[in-house]
């Protein structure tokens, strides 16, 4: 079955902080820019593992060591986290990680990622627990439809949350989409 990507109308509005309260000047702009994603050179011939909301990069570093032959894209809008990650990448001489420092939805729309993504990791996304803020959640029906067309066949999405209302919302969103097969469908496997 050949998948065709559709355009979905989802706003790219960012909620929350993009920059920390303290400034970080420990890394040169040249070093930081070395790790920013370049669509012309970085997305060629490698399978991609996407780490959405990578924070300071602990999960990204783990994935880069576990999958040295894949391109790991750390998508994080928080500047201090990206700076910390690029410092650690430079120190550890890791070359299979690129940083996307904008909203991940922009990455989906601007880059040709159709069938290139092998795995997507979303660890503890902002839960937006208030009912009036739930529309700000990353994982919704539009997001699920978008990633379905970007994942390679048998691609996987790993999601972890510690917020019970968001957990139920995620389960419901994937269940209603009917696009994905839920591997660990019993609570004892969660």
Task: Provide the 3-class DSSP secondary structure of residue 129.
Answer: coil
The pLDDT of residue 134 is: 82
Task: Provide the 3-class DSSP secondary structure of residue 112.
Answer: coil
Burial of 42 (0-12, 13-18, 19+ CB in 10 A): middle
Burial of 35 (0-12, 13-18, 19+ CB in 10 A): buried
The pLDDT of residue 104 is: 92
The pLDDT of residue 44 is: 74
The pLDDT of residue 8 is: 45
Q: Is the dihedral of CA 24, 29, 34, 35 positive or negative?
A: positive
Q: For 9, how many CA atoms within 13 A lie in the half-sphere containing its CB?
A: 0
Q: With contact defined as beta carbons under 8 Å apart, do 83 and 23 qualify?
A: no
* Phi/psi at 117 (5° precision): -85, 125
Distances (CA, A) of 72 to 33, 63, 76, 124: 16, 7, 13, 18
Active-site residue 183, yes or no? no
Query: For the chain, what's the residue count?
Result: 190
Residue 36 DSSP one-character state: B
Q: What is the pLDDT along the chain (190 residues), one digit of tens a residue?
A: 445 555 544 555 555 555 555 455 556 778 888 999 987 788 776 789 999 999 999 999 999 999 999 999 999 998 888 989 999 999 999 999 999 999 999 988 888 778 889 999 999 998 888 888 888 899 999 999 999 999 999 999 999 999 999 999 999 999 899 898 877 766 676 6
The pLDDT of residue 5 is: 52
* Phi/psi at 141 (5° precision): -65, -35
Q: Which of 42, 70, 109, 126 is catalytic?
A: 126
Q: Tell me the C-alpha distance between 48 and 11, whole Å.
A: 24
Q: Tell me the C-alpha distance between 25 and 137, whole Å.
A: 31
The pLDDT of residue 29 is: 79
Q: For 71, how many CA atoms within 13 A lie in the half-sphere containing its CB?
A: 21
């Amino acid at each position: 079955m050949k998948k065709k990507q559709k355009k979905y109308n989802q706003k790219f509005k960012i909620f929350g902080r993009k920059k920390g309260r303290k400034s970080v000047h420990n890394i040169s702009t040249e070093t930081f820019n070395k790790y920013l994603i370049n669509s012309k050179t970085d997305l060629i011939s490698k399978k991609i593992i996407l780490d959405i909301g990578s924070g300071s990069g602990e999960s990204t570093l783990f994935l880069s060591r576990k999958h040295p032959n894949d391109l790991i894209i750390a998508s994080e809008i928080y500047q201090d986290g990206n700076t910390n990650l690029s410092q650690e990448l430079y120190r550890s001489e890791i070359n299979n990680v690129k940083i996307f420092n904008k909203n991940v939805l922009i990455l989906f729309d601007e880059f040709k990622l159709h069938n290139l993504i092998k795995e997507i990791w979303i660890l503890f996304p902002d839960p937006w627990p208030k009912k009036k803020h739930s529309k700000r959640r990353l994982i919704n029906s539009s997001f699920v439809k978008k990633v379905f067309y970007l994942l390679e066949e048998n691609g996987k999405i790993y999601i972890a949350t510690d917020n019970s209302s968001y957990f139920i919302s995620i389960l419901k969103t994937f269940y209603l989409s009917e696009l994905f097969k839920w591997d660990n469908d019993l609570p004892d496997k969660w």
